[in-house]
């Protein structure tokens, strides 16, 4: 088991690409931390630096308090599981799983019987006993991924590093294997660092999630904290499906949020935040589930109701997503209960209630800091305007 500390780590590739900028992160023993962000934000580079597969340009990396910047990957005692499984095609499942222990049998003081027992124990816990003699090509994608997991687990490493391990699986298997990884972590409690671009995977797996953009950490906090109190507009738009809606407008008469020819009455908490900010232009952030159609248009002009033109209605079974636009060209989406959409049709202009007391107010700037985020929230490393 291990702690992993990254201090002011940066990575510039030989061609001058700056992939990671000055990131600091303390990963606790037993913790499951997920690095999440869009393609190219530096997740894999960060993971590969921790694994020792990529040089660190500047900063320090410590595992269990030991400086490991220049320690070879094999001497870091961590196991990495890749998206493409990286199994040896000519070896059976058994041999794939036993390989790393057999290579270091003398060094680790293991007998063949001990290795056999370890491989079978892990294979049993992953439901692989029946396929131990098969070659990887005779396995399903899900089974291959479990062999890759098993191969990492038999080593009993200090930490697991996962690089998009579920990307090659179909949607159903992805959800099943995700649950399997969570179960394994609950049993083994091995410190885990997991990379994904999928915010749902990050939310369901992580004790903490680290949201990255352009090589910079935007927010690092438990999943619910990130969802409920996003540090800035980027995080707010990245975490949550459908994503948060953003309405650009300004504060008038100290309490109204004016956009186009409509206005919403800000609740006291948001009005106070807006007044304290000392400027008048803001972006209001509204989660789709905070919007619901109101039965009749007679609510038009009421302080917590906005008017929008419906473009598409998407039934999802238990819920419905209504895509619509306000001020002609600002797209918004509302997620509501099926029965609330009766009588509505694409093309209609309709009134929508907004639970304004749960909305967020962002700075109208490139970073878009969340001004309504409680002061008690964890500090973040948001320091970039890129
Ligand atoms: P993805 O989800 O697409 O894998 P990522 O968040 O893991 O993306 P990285 O693979 O870490 O991102 O890449 C970060 C940046 O570094 C990108 O701009 C990428 O093009 C660049 N990069 C990655 N590897 C190299 C390399 N060997 N040489 C130069 N630039 C690189």
Q: Is the CB of 206 under 6 A from ligand 1?
A: no
Q: How far is the CA of 165 from the centre of ligand 1 (A)?
A: 17
Q: Quote the Cα angle for 174-84-100, to 5°.
A: 110
The CATH fold of domain 243-363: OB fold (Dihydrolipoamide Acetyltransferase, E2P) (2.40.50)
For residue 381, the model assigns a pLDDT of 46
Q: How far is the CA of 300 from the centre of ligand 1 (A)?
A: 49
Q: Is the CB of 41 under 6 A from ligand 1?
A: yes
Q: How far is the CA of 216 from the centre of ligand 1 (A)?
A: 13
**Nearest CA owner, ligand 1 atom 2:** 39
Do 384 and 214 form a contact (C-beta atoms < 8 A)? Answer: yes
Which ligand 1 atom is at minimum distance from the Cα of 11? 16
**Nearest CA owner, ligand 1 atom 29:** 13
* Closest to 215 (Cα-Cα) out of 74, 23, 53: 23
Determine the CATH number of domain 4-228.
3.40.50.300
Q: Three-state DSSP class for 47?
A: helix
For 328-382, what is each residue's pLDDT tens digit? Answer: 789 999 999 998 888 899 999 999 999 999 999 999 999 999 999 987 555 444 4
**Nearest CA owner, ligand 1 atom 20:** 40
Which ligand 1 atom is at minimum distance from the Cα of 48? 11
Mutate to test the pocket of ligand 1, among 11, 16, 17, 163 (most ligand atoms within 8 A of CB): 17
Is the pLDDT reported for residue 288 higher than 90? yes
pLDDT band at 188 (very low <50, low <70, confident <90, very high): confident
For residue 279, the model assigns a pLDDT of 81
Q: How far is the CA of 44 from the centre of ligand 1 (A)?
A: 7
Is the pLDDT reported for residue 384 higher than 60? no
For 102-149, what is each residue's pLDDT tens digit? Answer: 988 888 888 999 999 999 998 988 889 999 999 999 998 888 888 998
Is the pLDDT reported for residue 177 higher than 90? no
Q: How far apart are CA 350 and CA 320, in angstroms?
A: 15
DSSP state of 371: T
For residue 15, the model assigns a pLDDT of 96
For 154-167, what is each residue's pLDDT tens digit? Answer: 988 999 999 998 88
| Stronger pLDDT, 143 or 14, i.e. the higher one | 14
**Nearest CA owner, ligand 1 atom 9:** 42
The CA R_g of the chain, rounded to the nearest whole Å, is 25
Is the pLDDT reported for residue 242 higher than 90? yes
Is the pLDDT reported for residue 210 higher than 60? yes
pLDDT above 70 as % of the chain: 95
* Mean pLDDT over each residue of the chain, to the nearest integer: 90
Q: How far is the CA of 45 from the centre of ligand 1 (A)?
A: 6
pLDDT band at 385 (very low <50, low <70, confident <90, very high): very low
Q: How far is the CA of 270 from the centre of ligand 1 (A)?
A: 39
Identify the burial level of 37 via C-beta atoms within 10 angstroms of its C-beta, where 0-12 means exposed, 13-18 middle and 19 or more buried: buried
Q: How far apart are CA 12 and CA 314, in angstroms?
A: 44
Q: How far is the CA of 18 from the centre of ligand 1 (A)?
A: 9
Q: How far is the CA of 43 from the centre of ligand 1 (A)?
A: 8
Q: Is the CB of 40 under 6 A from ligand 1?
A: yes
**Nearest CA owner, ligand 1 atom 21:** 19
Q: How far is the CA of 247 from the centre of ligand 1 (A)?
A: 32
Q: Determine how β-strand 291-293 pairs with β-strand 305-315.
A: unpaired
Q: Is the CB of 370 under 6 A from ligand 1?
A: no
**Nearest CA owner, ligand 1 atom 17:** 40
**Nearest CA owner, ligand 1 atom 22:** 19
Q: Is the CB of 16 under 6 A from ligand 1?
A: no
Is the pLDDT reported for residue 197 higher than 90? yes
For residue 255, the model assigns a pLDDT of 86
Which ligand 1 atom is at minimum distance from the Cα of 20? 14
Is the pLDDT reported for residue 63 higher than 50? yes
For 212-241, what is each residue's pLDDT tens digit? Answer: 999 999 999 999 999 999 999 999 999 999
Q: Is the CB of 19 under 6 A from ligand 1?
A: yes
For 252-276, what is each residue's pLDDT tens digit? Answer: 988 889 998 899 999 999 999 999 9
Q: Is the CB of 232 under 6 A from ligand 1?
A: no
Q: Among all chains, which residue has been given the structure tokens 């504060």? A: 251
Do 355 and 365 form a contact (C-beta atoms < 8 A)? Answer: no
pLDDT band at 86 (very low <50, low <70, confident <90, very high): confident
Q: Where are the domains of the chain?
A: 4-228, 243-363
Is the pLDDT reported for residue 298 higher than 80? no
Which residues make Cβ contacts (< 8 Å) with residue 180, sequence separation at least 6? 126, 146, 149
pLDDT band at 192 (very low <50, low <70, confident <90, very high): very high
């Amino acid at each position: 088991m291990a702690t992993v500390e990254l201090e002011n780590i940066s990575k510039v590739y030989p061609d001058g690409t700056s992939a990671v900028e000055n990131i600091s992160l303390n990963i606790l023993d037993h913790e499951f931390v997920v690095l999440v962000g869009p393609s190219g934000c530096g997740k894999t580079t960060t993971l590969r630096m921790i694994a020792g597969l990529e040089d660190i340009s500047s900063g320090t990396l410590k595992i269990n308090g030991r400086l490991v910047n220049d320690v070879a990957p094999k001497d870091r005692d961590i196991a990495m599981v890749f998206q493409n499984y990286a199994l040896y095609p000519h070896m059976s499942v058994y041999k794939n799983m036993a390989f790393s222990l057999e290579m270091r049998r003398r060094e680790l003081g293991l007998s063949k019987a001990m290795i056999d027992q370890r491989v079978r124990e892990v294979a049993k816990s992953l439901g692989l006993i029946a396929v131990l003699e098969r070659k990887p090509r005779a396995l399903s994608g899900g089974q291959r991924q479990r062999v890759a997991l098993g191969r990492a687990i038999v080593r009993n490493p200090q930490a697991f590093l996962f690089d998009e391990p579920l990307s090659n699986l179909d949607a159903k298997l992805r959800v099943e294997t995700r649950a399997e990884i969570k179960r394994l972590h609950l049993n083994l409690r091995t410190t885990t660092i997991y990379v994904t671009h999928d915010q749902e995977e990050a939310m369901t797996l992580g004790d903490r999630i680290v949201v990255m953009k352009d090589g910079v950490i935007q927010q690092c906090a438990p999943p619910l904290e990130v969802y409920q109190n996003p540090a800035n507009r980027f995080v707010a738009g990245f975490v949550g499906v459908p994503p948060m809606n953003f309405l650009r407008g300004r504060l008038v008469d100290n309490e109204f949020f004016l956009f186009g020819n409509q206005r919403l009455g800000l609740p006291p908490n948001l009005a106070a935040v807006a007044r304290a900010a000392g400027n008048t232009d803001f972006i209001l952030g509204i989660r789709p589930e905070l919007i619901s159609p109101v039965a009749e248009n007679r609510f038009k002009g009421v302080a917590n109701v906005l008017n929008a033109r419906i473009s598409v209605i998407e039934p999802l079974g238990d819920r419905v997503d209504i895509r619509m636009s306000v001020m002609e060209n600002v797209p918004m989406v509302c997620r509501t209960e099926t029965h609330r959409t009766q009588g509505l049709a694409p093309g209609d202009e309709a009134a929508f209630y907004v639970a304004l007391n749960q909305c967020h107010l962002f700075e109208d700037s490139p970073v878009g800091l969340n001004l309504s985020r409680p002061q008690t929230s964890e500090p973040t490393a948001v320091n970039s305007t890129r």
